[in-house]
Amino acid sequence: MIPLDGHKLDGRKLDDQVLSEKGMEVGATAPAPDRILLIACGALAREIIALRAANHWTHMDLACLPAKLHNQPQKIPESVRARIHQAREEGYARIFIVYADCGTGGLLDAVCAEEGVERIQGPHCYSFFDGNEAFAQRADQDEEITSFYLTDFLARQFDTLIWKGMGLDRHPELLPMIFGNYEALVYLSQTHDPALEEKARKAAERLGLEFRTRHTGYGDLAPYLARAAGTNTAANGAGS
């Protein structure tokens, strides 16, 4: 574990490329039974660390798996299971999973049930950032059925996880096949960052999609982490 201090790790800023390719573990160097471990997607590291700092949840540690697993979601359930087993060997008694279903088709839920752990609700992070109830309502009304979503992390890592991750750098001819049925790119922002909004806007242009944006803050992530931490409310910090 790397000692956790706000957004800085040993004086370094979080590295999105590392979070995409390798993941990262931050928190206590010597886990104790009274500490909590969050097993999460690397794409959520900044938001979790921001909420942890804003709420002084110093008893929570974080183990992020590589965000690139989303390009092979069938690998997520067993990767999570392996980290749960490791956590128990390390002495953690309380473990929470900060993954939505994320394209696993219910397989992650099966792992969570078998291992006796809880995950955040929602089909994907777009839903719980937007608020699962609000996102489901839009889905029921077909408001954004032809929309492709970006979060802050995906706006920063568009080239790595989407353009290159989907092979568009090598085979641009695949663009109409992959994105031909989409009409808009919706940027769900967690923070107010004009530079990130511009990145998302340029991503929409590259994909040939209409650009839309909606600020969500941290959505349902904040109350989920508050419950995991044993508190009733959460300060949203920069995500408000």
Domain ranges of the chain: 8-126+218-239, 138-215
**8-126+218-239 CATH, one of 3.30.110, 1.10.730, 3.30.450, 3.40.50:** 3.40.50
Residue 186 CA to residue 126 CA, distance in Å, equals 10
- Convert the pLDDT of each residue in 38-85 to its tens digit: 999 999 999 999 999 999 999 999 999 999 999 999 999 999 999 999
Residue 76 CA to residue 131 CA, distance in Å, equals 23
Q: Is the pLDDT of residue 239 over 90?
A: no
Confidence of residue 28 (pLDDT cuts 50, 70, 90): low
What is the distance in angstroms between the CA of the first residue and the CA of the last residue of the chain?
29
- Convert the pLDDT of each residue in 123-178 to its tens digit: 999 999 999 999 999 988 888 999 999 999 999 999 999 999 999 999 999 999 99
Query: Could you tell me whether strands 184-189 and 118-119 are parallel, antiparallel, or unpaired per DSSP bridges?
Result: unpaired
- Neighbouring-strand partners of residue 235: none
Q: What predicted TM-score, i.e. pTM, was given to this entire model?
A: 0.91
How crowded is residue 117: how many other Cβ atoms within 10 Å of its Cβ? 18
pLDDT for the residue 237: 58
- Neighbouring-strand partners of residue 40: 64, 98
CB-count exposure of residue 194 (10 Å: 0-12, 13-18, 19+):
exposed
Instruction: Give the ranges where 184-236 is alpha helix by DSSP (H).
Output: 194-207, 221-229
pLDDT for the residue 9: 47
Query: Could you tell me whether strands 36-41 and 94-98 are parallel, antiparallel, or unpaired per DSSP bridges?
Result: parallel
CA distances from 217 to 88, 149, 167 (A): 32, 15, 30
pLDDT for the residue 11: 38
Residue pair 184/207 in contact (Cβ under 8 Å)? The answer is: no
Residue 162 CA to residue 168 CA, distance in Å, equals 8
pLDDT for the residue 104: 97
